């Protein structure tokens, strides 16, 4: 198993990320650290800044940032999802959406630092905002988000069901495949140098 440090203060995120990456032969080691988020327009910028802030940690390091984007609100709360949720919770969002389109998507950007190299992966899941919070599972905006093709919210799905289709799973599965291919290249290189020797 390959070990990667995952920096976050969010227990649920860590649990989800660890379960998603385990089948890819990656074991996440949780570094519970608050990283100040810069004011930025995109998740990509936030993730780059987060990677800058964890340069002191040894070995491969993974950070991620996620947001709920609502096109009828010009993408709001988007990169501000965390602050908005902390300050206001669901009510103003439901109020704003009373006469607007309810299409929404979740997006995750994951950034992995491997020595001096950095690689980024993104994942998106489309859906709609429920008329009222539904379900007790998950975290954050999960009770409001109904993924496309489903009738239940993320908070009404089991963690396995959510991890089967979530934004986080889509980004991290790309990372898992990337790491597997990188490992295969390393093994092939080793075999080649054995052949040459
Ligand atoms: P951040 O990625 O920690 O900045 O989180 C942004 C906001 O989106 C926080 O309020 C999280 O609770 C919320 N959030 C992030 N991922 C999810 C998710 O998978 N489901 C529901 N809410 C999420």
| Interatomic CA distance for residues 41 and 62, integer angstroms | 21
Percent over 90 (pLDDT), the chain: 87
CATH of the domain at 24: 3.90.950.10
Q: How far is the CA of 107 from the centre of ligand 1 (A)?
A: 9
129-146 pLDDT, tens digit each? 999 999 999 999 999 999
Q: What is the DSSP string of 52-87?
A: HTTTTS-S-EEEEEEEEE-GGGTT-BGGGHHHHHHH
Quick one: pLDDT at residue 36? 87
Residues in the chain predicted with pLDDT less than 70, given as ranges, are 185-197
The pTM assigned to this predicted structure is 0.93
Q: Is the CB of 77 inside a 6 Å radius of any atom of ligand 1?
A: no
The pLDDT value given to residue 180: 85
Query: What residue's CA is closest to ligand 1, atom 14?
Result: 140
CB 7 within 8 A of CB 35: yes
Number of folded domains that form the chain? 1
Range of the domain at 14: 2-196
Q: For all residues of the chain together, what is the average pLDDT?
A: 94
């Amino acid at each position: 198993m390959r070990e990667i440090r995952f920096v976050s203060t969010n227990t649920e995120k860590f649990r989800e990320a660890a379960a998603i990456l385990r089948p890819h032969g990656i074991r996440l080691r949780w570094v519970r650290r608050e990283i100040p988020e810069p004011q930025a327009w995109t998740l990509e910028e936030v993730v780059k800044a987060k990677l800058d802030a964890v340069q002191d940690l040894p070995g491969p390091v993974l950070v991620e940032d996620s947001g709920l984007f609502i096109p009828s609100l010009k993408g709001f709360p988007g990169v501000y999802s965390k602050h908005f949720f902390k300050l206001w919770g669901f009510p103003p969002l439901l109020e704003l959406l009373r006469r607007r389109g309810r299409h929404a998507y979740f997006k995750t950007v994951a950034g992995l630092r491997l020595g001096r190299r950095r690689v980024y992966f993104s994942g998106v899941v489309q859906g709609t905002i429920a008329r009222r919070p539904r379900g007790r599972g998950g975290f954050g905006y999960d009770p409001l988000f109904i993924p496309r093709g489903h009738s239940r919210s993320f908070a009404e799905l089991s963690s396995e069901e959510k991890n089967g289709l979530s934004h986080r799973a889509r980004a991290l599965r790309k990372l898992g495949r990337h790491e597997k291919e990188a490992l295969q290249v390393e093994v092939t290189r080793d075999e080649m140098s054995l052949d040459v020797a």
